[in-house]
Amino acid sequence: MAEIAVIGAGMAGIGAALALQARGHEVLVLDRLWPGEGTSHGNAGLIQAEAAEPYAMPRAPAQLFAIATGRTNDVVWHPRSLPGELPVLWSYFRRSAPKRHAAISEVYRQLTGRAVADHAPVIAEAGAEALIRRTGFGEVAETGAALEATAREAERMRDRHGIASRVAGGTELRAEDPAFREGLAGAVIWRDSWSTTDPGALTAAYARLFKARGGRVARVGVTGIVPDRAGWSVATETGLVEAAQVVLAAGPWSAQLLKPLGYRIPMLLKRGYHGHFRMEGELSRPYFLTGHGVVVASMARGLRITTGAELTGQEARRDLRQLVRGEAAARAVLPLGEAVPDSIWHGHRPCLPDMIPLVGPAPRHDGLWFDFGHGHHGLTLGPTTGILLAEMMEGRDDALARALSPRCR
Ligand SMILES: Cc1cc2nc3c(=O)[nH]c(=O)nc-3n(C[C@H](O)[C@H](O)[C@H](O)COP(=O)(O)OP(=O)(O)OC[C@H]3O[C@@H](n4cnc5c(N)ncnc54)[C@H](O)[C@@H]3O)c2cc1C
């Protein structure tokens, strides 16, 4: 019998396990993969202090037209998956209206605003310094007009949320990152964001810390969660695990595990891809390539190109359109070599239509807790929501706790 079973060993589950352990709880983490091998492995590696506002759904007619007609690399969609996604997209669209998005951002910035500080002690205690860059996150603009627009947005973020940034002209950018070709207009650098050169390894390092402190991790698939007299029975491929309480942190698979308990979670899965390429030298920080919808970052396996959102079924076949376009855009500004063999990956950002993760008590079951739906920022937010969840399990019930608490039936 475990006191608390955490399902999912991604950044969210490991973040929760560490926070609960730090408060004296006995925790068992269950995952069919090794820690950090799920979505937490494949992302762009950003710990995004600048992300005070979650990604809203575009609402301007020109942006919607560009998406509908396939003219942007930020988002692509498939007619066959659209009917199933329409209700959640509609809900996302409504909540992306400026007033509602501003209210949501007031909550969101309380999370991302402390994310770097919540990672810091874990990085130190896990001995993971070598995986971390504290050099910010850049947005490269090819033209003067694009740089001006990006700088204007940075000013707005400074005025509204106090987010620090600076503008680097083309020459300054090349002085910091000589790999970029000459002639680019420059970049906006978000100063306080961090990044990792291997997000999967970072999650695994946090999991090793958890184990070194006496935590248990079992590599096993979970097939169901059933309430029983002592608390919960977690059905696994190798038998039942009894636990007084269960934390569900299974990322994009969470909604599926909750269906038998009667929960219908309106989750939008935004698929993203990465591919690795050889490149002479390294970038000092990750960069978003403005106008091309991809992030480029020097990582353990080479230059990782990470794509934007593809709206498609979780099991749908790969469509490498965004990665192919992203590669072309990266080649135009960086000296990319050949692709690293077998380095293409895809995963899903587990997004809620109101853009805020579900963290807190299950609405209809005592002893069951949610910690999923981190969308675009789960690597950033895992330790933060883990701490908040642990506090909520001990009775925290303030405005932030209520805003995060599961909003589903
Ligand atoms: C392309 C892309 C780029 C991204 N870039 C960034 C970024 O730069 N910065 C950032 O902060 N976020 C980023 N994200 C988002 C981030 O990766 C996710 O929000 C985060 O990894 C989610 O963490 P998690 O622990 O909830 O999920 P996961 O890491 O997926 O962990 C869930 C775990 O649950 C396990 N599991 C599921 N079902 C079962 C079962 N039945 N039995 C046993 N185990 C199970 C899985 O094996 C998995 O290990 C990106 C996402 C994508 C797709």
Predicted pLDDT of residue 1 = 87
Q: Whose CA is nearest to atom 49 of ligand 1?
A: 38
In the prediction, which pLDDT does 149 show?
98
Residue 223 CA: nearest ligand 1 atom is 41
User: Which of 73, 268, 379 best tests ligand 1's pocket when mutated (most atoms within 8 Å of CB)?
Assistant: 379
Report pLDDT for 295. Answer: 98
Q: What is the pLDDT along the chain (409 residues), one digit of tens a residue?
A: 899 999 999 999 999 999 999 999 999 999 999 999 999 999 999 999 999 999 999 999 999 999 999 899 999 999 888 888 999 999 999 999 999 999 999 999 999 999 999 999 999 999 999 999 999 999 999 999 999 999 999 999 999 999 999 999 999 999 999 999 999 999 999 999 999 999 999 999 999 999 999 999 999 999 999 999 889 999 999 999 999 999 999 999 999 999 999 999 999 999 999 999 999 999 999 999 999 999 999 999 999 999 999 999 999 999 999 999 999 999 999 999 999 999 999 999 999 999 999 999 999 999 999 999 999 999 999 999 999 999 999 999 999 999 999 888 7
Q: What is the pLDDT of residue 23?
A: 98
Domains of the chain, by residue range, sit at: 2-41+201-264+354-404, 49-98+129-196+267-351
The CA 242 to ligand 1 mean position distance, Å, reads 25
Q: Is residue 357 within 8 Å of 371, Cβ to Cβ?
A: yes
- With respect to CATH, is domain 2-41+201-264+354-404 assigned 3.30.360.10? no
Chain mean position to CA 23:
25
Q: How far is CA 220 from CA 4, 350, 372, in A?
A: 16, 22, 19
Map tokens 């402390």 to a residue.
Answer: 114
Q: Which residue has the tokens 């996302």?
A: 92
Residue 75 to residue 53: CA distance in whole angstroms: 18
Residue of the CA atom closest to atom 41 of ligand 1 = 222
| Nearest atom of ligand 1 to the alpha carbon of 249 | 26
287 C-alpha to center of ligand 1: Å?
A: 21
Instruction: Report the sign of the C-alpha dihedral through residues 147, 151, 152, 154, in that order.
Output: positive
Atom of ligand 1 nearest to the CA of 274: 1
As a whole number of angstroms, the longest Cα–Cα distance in the chain is 68
pLDDT for 153: 98
Q: What dihedral do alpha carbons 252, 254, 257, 262 form, nearest 10°? A: -120
Res 80: pLDDT: 86
Cα separation, 358 vs 249, in Å, equals 10
CB-based contact 378:203 (threshold 8 Å) = no
For residue 273, what are the β-bridge partners? 346
HEC letters along the chain: CEEEEEECCCHHHHHHHHHHHHCCCCEEEEECCCCCCCHHHHCCCEECCCCCCCCCCCCCHHHHHHHHCCCCCCEEECCCCHHHHHHHHHHHHHHCCHHHHHHHHHHHHHHHHHHHHHHHHHHHHHCCHHHEECCCEEEEECCHHHHHHHHHHHHHHHHHHCCCEEEEEHHHHHHHCCCCCCCCCEEEEECCCEEECCHHHHHHHHHHHHHHCCCEEEECCEEEEEEECCEEEEEECCEEEEEEEEEECCHHHHHHHHHHHCCCCCCEEEEEEEEEEEECCCCCCCEEECCCCEEEEEECCEEEEEECEEECCCCCCCCCHHHHHHHHHHHHHCCEEEECCCCCEEEEEEECCCCCCEEEECCCCCCEEEEECCHHHHHHHHHHHHHHHHHHHCCCCCHHHHHHCCCCC
Instruction: Please state the φ and ψ torsions of residue 294, each to the nearest 5 degrees.
Output: -135, 155
Span from the CA of 61 to the centroid of ligand 1 (angstroms): 32
Residue 134's pLDDT is 98
> Is-contact 224 218, C-beta < 8 A?
no
Picking from 316, 320, 317, the residue whose alpha carbon sits closest to that of residue 294 is 320
Residue 63: count of CB within 10 angstroms of its CB: 15
In single-letter form, the type of residue at position 100 comes to R
| CATH 3.30.9.10 applies to domain 49-98+129-196+267-351 | yes
Say whether pTM exceeds 0.85: yes
Give, using CA atoms, the residue closest to atom 33 of ligand 1.
Answer: 8
pLDDT given for residue 368 in this prediction: 98
Task: Name all residues whose Cβ lies below 6 A of ligand 1.
Answer: 8-13, 30-33, 37-40, 42-46, 48, 221-222, 249-251, 253, 257, 272, 306, 347-349, 372, 374-380, 382
> What confidence score (pLDDT) does residue 81 get?
86
Sign for the pseudo-dihedral over CA of 77, 78, 84, 90: positive
